[in-house]
Structure 1
């Protein structure tokens, strides 16, 4: 089953990696996240992250000490940061 673009509905999409900028949960600053898994649509040229990955990044930012993050980090490095909490207790989407 082929994937379709979430923006235009086209089916010519490819996996890519992008640099993205994410605001920290406390709103104090944003961080640059390099090599973030992304989708690129060859029809509409939109580049985006899938919802599951967005949730993964946001959960990780809630679970780590963001004060220790540098201004720029790779996606892999971000996901390897030690967690302070075991889960995101502020996520009520599963209820």
Structure 2
């Protein structure tokens, strides 16, 4: 897999812990086991754009008031949504 940072063909899929600011800016949360890429050549660890969008959309669509400070990616994605889709996303 090609690394988006250094273009080496040494990126691999893995799961990492990431830190995310809530949409209202009130605090940050820890998301464990988030789908990620790691490059063996440059050492960069990152999320693909589609994963970033899924996390951001989910945080817009759920109630973050009582959201745990730390949860897994799967637990975040399984939280019940208040809206069916992100109506604030004008990119599509």
TM-score (norm 1): 0.95
**What is the RMSD computed on CA atoms of the aligned residues?**
0.5
Residues of 2 paired with 1:38 and 1:14: CA distance? 8
Between the two proteins, the alignment pairs up a number of residues equal to: 92
Following superposition, the deviation at residue 37 of structure 1 comes to 0.6
The 5 Å alignment of 1:1-95 reads: 3-94=1-92
Residues of 2 paired with 1:4 and 1:13: CA distance? 6
Structure 2: segments with no counterpart, 5+ residues:
none
Following superposition, the deviation at residue 13 of structure 1 comes to 1.1
Q: Does the residue aligned with 2:65 lie in a helix, a strand or coil?
A: helix
Residues of 2 paired with 1:55 and 1:10: CA distance? 24
Residues of 1 paired with 2:35 and 2:77: CA distance? 12
TM-score (norm 2): 0.98
Following superposition, the deviation at residue 16 of structure 1 comes to 0.9
